[in-house]
C-alpha cells in the first residue's frame, strides 16, 4: 500500500481506545490529532477519567486516592499539562526523605545525613557509596535482566548492606515481590536518581498539582471532546469480538456497542483472554497475558489534625511493620488544600495473588494504627488525632519486572492492524509514573497507526 493510500484509509477509520487513564487520554488525543477525520472513541469503565491518578467516587478524603508527585524530569507530563492549559496548577517545593530505623527517625537528604546514618558502619557506608557509583556507571542494563535485584545487590554491596539498606527499600516498592524483581529495576532507579542529583546539584524539587489530578482530568475530558474524541464514561468493556468483515465489535456493561476498525486496550493484560474470546489473537500471547504477575497496592489514607513527620517519603527498615512506607503528603501539598488537615498515605505493595487482597478493610485497622503509634512514638502520636481513614486497593497496577521480563513483555500489536495493547506493562525497568506512560504512548503510536 502506498503512503498516500494508507493515509486516506486511516483518515476514515474508526478507532476505540479502552481505558481513560493518562495512557488512554494521550492515545486518544494523539490519534485524533494525527487523523482529524477519523472517529476516535474513548471508553472508560468508571464515572471519571484519570484511572489510578484521581480520587475515588465518592471521595471521602478530598484528595487523590493514591499519592502523586511531579518531578522536573517528567518532561512529557509537563508538556501534556501545558497542552491542557493547566500548568499554572503546578506547585514546586523541596521534599525531605527519612528512614525509620532502630526505632528512630533519621533524615536522609544530604551526604552529611548519609554519613550520620546510624544503622550502617563507616565501612558499610563506603560499600554502599561504591555500589551506587558502580551501578550509576553501567550503561548497558540488558544483562541485568538475567539476575534478581536481591542477588545483584548482595554481590555489589555485600550481604549486610543489602539487609540493612537495600532490602527495606526494595520491600518498600515491591512488598513480598522484592525477591523476584530483576536487577534492571534497581539499576534504572539508581541511574535516574544519580543523574538527577548530578544535573541539579541540589535536592530534587518535587511538584504537585493544586487540587490533585481530578481537575486535570476534567479539563482533559473537555479538551478531548473539543478535538473531536467521543468520550464515553461508565462504559466498562466486557467483550472485544470479531465481526467477520475485518471490523471489531466492542460491548460495554451498560449495554452499549461500538463497531470500529482498530482497538487499543490500556487496561491490565490479565483480562485480555476474558475480553477477547473471539479475536484471532495467537494462543501463545493469550497464555502469556494470563501468566503475567502483577504488583498491586493496598493504601490507607489517614487524615490527621497535626503533621505526622517532616518527610515526604519515610522509608522503613525495621521489620514487622504492616505497610511498606509512610508518605507525608502534606509536607508537599499545602494543608490549606485539604481543609487545614494533614494527609498521610500508608502504602503496602503486594503481588496480585496475595491473600491480603481478600481481607476486609477492618482487618488492617489495628495493625496499621499500632504501627503509626510505634513510628510516631517520639512525637507523641495519638489515635484521637485521626479525623478519618480510608483504605484503597488496586490489585493490578503494573506487571512485576521479573527476571527475563524484557523477553516476556507482550507486543503492542496483538492482531496486526486491528487490536493493540499499550499499558503499564510497556515499562522496562524503572518505576511507573504518568510521564513514563506518555513516553510509552509517543513511542508506540507509529506502531499502532502503521
Ligand atoms: C500508589 C500509587 C502511586 C503512584 N504515584 C505516582 C506518582 O507519584 N507520579 C506519577 O506520575 N504516577 C504515579 N502513579 C501512577 C499513575 O497513577 C498511573 O497509575 C499510571 O500512570 C498508569 O496510568 P494508566 O492510564 O496506564 O493506567 P490507569 O491509571 O490504571 O488507567 C486505566 C484505566 O482503564 C480503565 N479500564 C480498565 N479496564 C477497562 C475496561 N475493560 N473497560 C473500560 N475501562 C477500563 C480503568 O477504569 C482506568 O481508568 C502512582 C500509582 C499508584 C497506584
Q: Is the shortest distance between the CB of 41 and ligand 1 below 6 Å?
A: no
Q: Are residues 336 and 276 in the same domain?
A: no
In a domain, 76, yes or no: no
Last residue of a domain, one of 170, 200, 230: 200
Task: Please give the grid coordinates belonging to residue 264.
Answer: 487499543
Domain count, the chain: 3
Spacing, Cα 96 to ligand 1 middle (Å): 26
Ligand 1 nearest-atom number relative to CA 345: 1
Spacing, Cα 164 to ligand 1 middle (Å): 32
At 68, phi and psi to the nearest 5?
-135, 135
Spacing, Cα 21 to ligand 1 middle (Å): 5
CA pair distance 46, 266, nearest whole angstrom: 14
Q: Are residues 298 and 334 in the same domain?
A: yes
Q: Are residues 305 and 380 in the same domain?
A: yes
**Owner of C-alpha cell 499539562:** 81
Q: Is the shortest distance between the CB of 391 and ligand 1 below 6 Å?
A: no
Using an 8 Å Cβ cutoff, are 364 and 323 in contact?
no
Phi and psi based region of residue 337 (left: phi greater than 0; alpha: psi -120 to 50; beta: remaining): alpha
In a domain, 46, yes or no: yes
Q: Is 163 exposed, middle or buried (0-12, 13-18, 19+ CB in 10 A)?
A: middle
Using an 8 Å Cβ cutoff, are 247 and 240 in contact?
no
3-state helix, strand, coil in the chain (%, to 5): 45, 25, 35
Q: Are residues 274 and 414 in the same domain?
A: yes
Q: Is the shortest distance between the CB of 46 and ligand 1 below 6 Å?
A: yes
DSSP 76: H
Q: In what order do the strands lie in the sheet with 413-415?
A: 230-232, 39-43, 14-18, 262-265, 419-421, 413-415
Best residue among 432, 436, 439, 444 to mutate for probing ligand 1, ranked by most atoms within 8 Å of CB: 432
CA pair distance 288, 167, nearest whole angstrom: 29
Best residue among 434, 440, 444 to mutate for probing ligand 1, ranked by most atoms within 8 Å of CB: 434
Residue ID of nearest Cα to ligand 1 atom 10: 433
Best residue among 265, 433, 438 to mutate for probing ligand 1, ranked by most atoms within 8 Å of CB: 433
Q: Are residues 186 and 126 in the same domain?
A: yes
Residue ID of nearest Cα to ligand 1 atom 41: 237
**Domain of residue 28, residue span:** 3-68+212-292+409-449
Q: Is the shortest distance between the CB of 169 and ligand 1 below 6 Å?
A: no
- Number of helices (H), then strands (E), belonging to the chain: the values are 15, 18
Residue ID of nearest Cα to ligand 1 atom 14: 433
In a domain, 55, yes or no: yes
Q: Is the shortest distance between the CB of 346 and ligand 1 below 6 Å?
A: no
Ligand 1 nearest-atom number relative to CA 394: 53
Compute the C-alpha angle 361/393/347, nearest 5°. 90
The confidence score (pLDDT) of residue 266 equals 98
Residue ID of nearest Cα to ligand 1 atom 8: 68
In a domain, 185, yes or no: yes
What are the distances in angstroms from CA 129 to CA 111, 118, 124, 183, 304? 10, 15, 9, 18, 37
Say which CATH number the domain at 380 has: 3.90.660.20
**Owner of C-alpha cell 500548568:** 87
In a domain, 164, yes or no: yes
Q: Are residues 191 and 151 in the same domain?
A: yes
Q: What is the pTM of this model?
A: 0.95
Q: Are residues 375 and 300 in the same domain?
A: yes
Spacing, Cα 69 to ligand 1 middle (Å): 14
Residue ID of nearest Cα to ligand 1 atom 38: 267
Ligand 1 nearest-atom number relative to CA 21: 25
Q: Are residues 162 and 131 in the same domain?
A: yes
Spacing, Cα 375 to ligand 1 middle (Å): 30
pLDDT by residue for the chain (450 residues), tens only, comes to 455 455 455 667 999 999 999 999 999 999 999 999 999 999 999 999 999 999 999 999 999 999 999 988 899 999 999 999 999 999 999 889 999 988 999 998 888 888 888 889 999 999 999 999 999 899 999 999 999 999 999 999 999 999 999 998 898 888 888 999 999 999 988 887 766 555 554 455 789 999 999 999 999 999 999 999 999 999 999 999 999 899 999 999 999 999 999 999 999 999 999 999 999 999 999 999 999 999 999 999 999 999 999 999 999 988 889 999 999 999 999 999 999 999 999 999 999 999 999 999 999 999 999 999 999 998 899 999 999 999 999 999 999 999 999 999 999 999 999 999 999 999 997 789 999 999 999 999 999 999
The confidence score (pLDDT) of residue 203 equals 53
Spacing, Cα 30 to ligand 1 middle (Å): 18
Using an 8 Å Cβ cutoff, are 88 and 71 in contact?
no
Best residue among 22, 52, 343 to mutate for probing ligand 1, ranked by most atoms within 8 Å of CB: 52
In a domain, 207, yes or no: no
Last residue of a domain, one of 179, 200, 221: 200
Best residue among 221, 267, 312 to mutate for probing ligand 1, ranked by most atoms within 8 Å of CB: 267
Say which CATH number the domain at 238 has: 3.50.50.60
What are the distances in angstroms from CA 98 to CA 105, 112, 326, 335, 435? 7, 13, 10, 20, 25
Q: Are residues 308 and 379 in the same domain?
A: yes
Q: Are residues 287 and 298 in the same domain?
A: no
Q: Are residues 366 and 424 in the same domain?
A: no
Instruction: List b or e across 113-147, with b for residues whose CB sees 16 or more CB atoms inside 10 angstroms.
Output: eeeebebbeeebbebbeebbeebbeeeebeebbee
Q: Are residues 310 and 233 in the same domain?
A: no
In a domain, 36, yes or no: yes
At 207, phi and psi to the nearest 5?
-125, 160
Taking the CB of residue 234, how many other CB atoms lie within 10 A of it? 14
Amino acid at each position: 500500500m502506498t503512503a498516500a493510500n494508507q493515509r486516506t484509509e486511516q483518515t476514515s477509520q474508526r478507532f476505540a481506545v479502552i481505558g481513560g487513564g493518562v495512557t488512554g487520554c494521550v492515545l486518544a488525543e494523539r490519534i485524533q490529532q494525527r487523523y482529524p477525520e477519523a472517529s476516535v472513541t474513548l471508553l472508560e469503565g468508571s464515572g471519571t477519567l484519570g484511572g489510578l491518578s484521581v480520587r475515588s467516587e465518592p471521595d471521602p478524603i478530598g484528595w487523590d486516592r493514591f499519592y502523586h508527585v511531579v518531578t522536573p524530569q517528567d518532561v512529557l507530563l509537563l508538556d501534556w499539562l501545558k497542552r491542557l492549559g493547566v500548568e499554572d496548577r503546578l506547585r514546586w517545593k523541596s521534599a525531605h526523605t527519612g528512614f525509620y530505623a532502630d526505632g528512630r527517625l533519621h533524615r536522609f537528604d544530604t551526604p552529611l545525613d548519609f554519613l550520620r546514618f546510624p544503622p550502617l558502619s563507616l565501612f558499610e557506608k563506603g560499600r554502599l557509596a561504591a555500589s551506587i557509583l558502580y551501578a550509576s556507571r553501567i550503561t548497558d542494563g540488558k544483562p541485568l535482566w538475567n539476575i534478581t535485584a536481591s542477588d545483584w545487590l548482595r554481590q555489589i554491596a555485600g550481604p549486610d548492606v543489602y539487609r540493612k539498606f537495600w532490602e527495606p527499600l526494595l520491600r518498600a516498592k515491591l512488598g513480598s515481590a522484592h525477591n523476584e524483581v530483576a536487577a534492571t529495576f534497581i539499576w534504572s532507579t539508581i541511574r535516574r536518581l544519580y543523574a538527577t542529583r548530578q544535573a541539579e546539584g541540589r535536592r530534587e524539587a518535587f511538584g504537585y498539582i493544586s487540587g490533585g489530578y481530578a481537575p486535570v482530568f476534567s479539563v482533559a475530558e473537555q479538551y478531548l471532546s473539543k478535538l473531536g474524541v467521543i468520550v464515553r464514561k461508565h462504559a466498562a468493556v466486557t467483550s472485544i469480538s470479531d465481526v467477520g468483515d475485518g471490523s471489531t465489535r466492542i460491548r460495554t456493561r451498560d449495554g452499549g456497542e461500538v463497531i470500529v476498525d482498530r482497538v487499543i486496550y490500556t487496561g491490565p493484560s490479565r483480562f485480555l483472554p476474558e475480553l477477547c474470546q473471539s479475536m484471532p489473537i495467537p494462543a501463545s500471547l493469550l497464555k502469556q497475558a494470563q501468566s503475567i504477575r502483577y504488583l498491586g497496592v493496598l493504601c490507607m489514607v489517614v487524615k490527621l489534625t497535626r503533621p505526622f513527620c517532616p518527610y515526604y517519603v519515610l522509608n522503613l527498615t525495621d521489620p514487622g511493620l504492616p505497610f511498606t512506607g509512610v508518605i507525608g503528603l502534606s509536607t508537599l501539598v499545602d494543608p490549606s488544600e485539604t481543609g487545614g488537615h494533614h494527609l498521610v498515605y500508608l502504602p503496602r505493595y503486594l503481588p496480585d495473588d496475595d491473600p491480603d487482597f481478600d481481607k476486609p478493610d477492618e482487618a488492617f485497622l489495628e495493625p496499621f494504627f499500632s504501627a503509626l503509634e510505634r513510628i510516631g512514638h517520639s512525637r507523641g502520636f495519638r489515635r484521637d488525632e485521626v479525623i478519618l481513614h480510608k483504605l484503597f486497593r488496586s490489585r493490578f497496577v503494573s506487571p512485576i519486572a521479573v527476571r527475563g521480563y524484557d523477553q516476556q513483555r507482550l507486543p503492542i500489536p496483538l492482531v496486526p492492524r486491528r487490536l493493540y495493547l499499550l499499558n503499564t506493562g510497556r515499562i522496562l525497568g524503572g518505576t511507573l509514573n504518568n510521564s513514563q506512560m506518555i513516553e510509552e504512548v509517543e513511542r508506540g503510536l507509529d506502531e499502532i497507526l502503521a
